[in-house]
Amino acid sequence: METLISDRSLETFLELEFGPGPNDATPLGDIAASLVSLDELLRDLASIAAYPSDAEFRSIEVVAIEMRRPLKVKLSLIAISPDAVKAFQEICRDIIVQRERRGQHPVTLGNVQTVLELRGSLGHARLTENEAKRIYGHVVALHNAEVPLKRVEVKTE
């Protein structure tokens, strides 16, 4: 049986930065809820980008948490396509901008579909209505989170 050895030097990492929540606090429960939404969003995008392939193995792991201000979380990504990471980064960027502008341009299901399809973030994949609704749910959860996402940076190490 052949054993596959992961080349850690080609691993993709996401560095996430969260701003303070109400009263300048950073409640860890709210960060955990946001991390769940981010994980589900990234997995959904990875599945869509991988279509028609049905790759079963994908790994998203928290590898570091820096408990200073701002709070930073580093995620390790394995078997997540560059298209999915690009789409994830674009969606997060839009969420961050919308939160800063609070209410000027509300996030809508149409916006999410347009962002992904027009920017070509998912290659040639087309979103089904159910996929778009699921992604929209993650976007709304992140947009309304108590502790805002402030920065997303992709690194390959």
Which residues 6+ apart lie within 8 Å of 91 measured at CB? 41, 45, 112, 115, 116, 135, 139
Flag whether 5 is in a domain.
no
Flag whether 2 is in a domain.
no
Radius of gyration for the alpha carbons in the chain, expressed in angstroms and rounded: 16
Grade residue 105 by pLDDT with cuts at 50, 70 and 90.
Answer: low
Flag whether 3 is in a domain.
no
Domain of residue 145, residue span: 11-156
Flag whether 4 is in a domain.
no
Q: Write down the pTM of the prediction.
A: 0.79
Flag whether 82 is in a domain.
yes
Tokens encoding 47 = 């599945």
In total, how many domains does the chain have?
1
Burial of 38 (0-12, 13-18, 19+ CB in 10 A): buried
Grade residue 112 by pLDDT with cuts at 50, 70 and 90.
Answer: low
Grade residue 8 by pLDDT with cuts at 50, 70 and 90.
Answer: very low
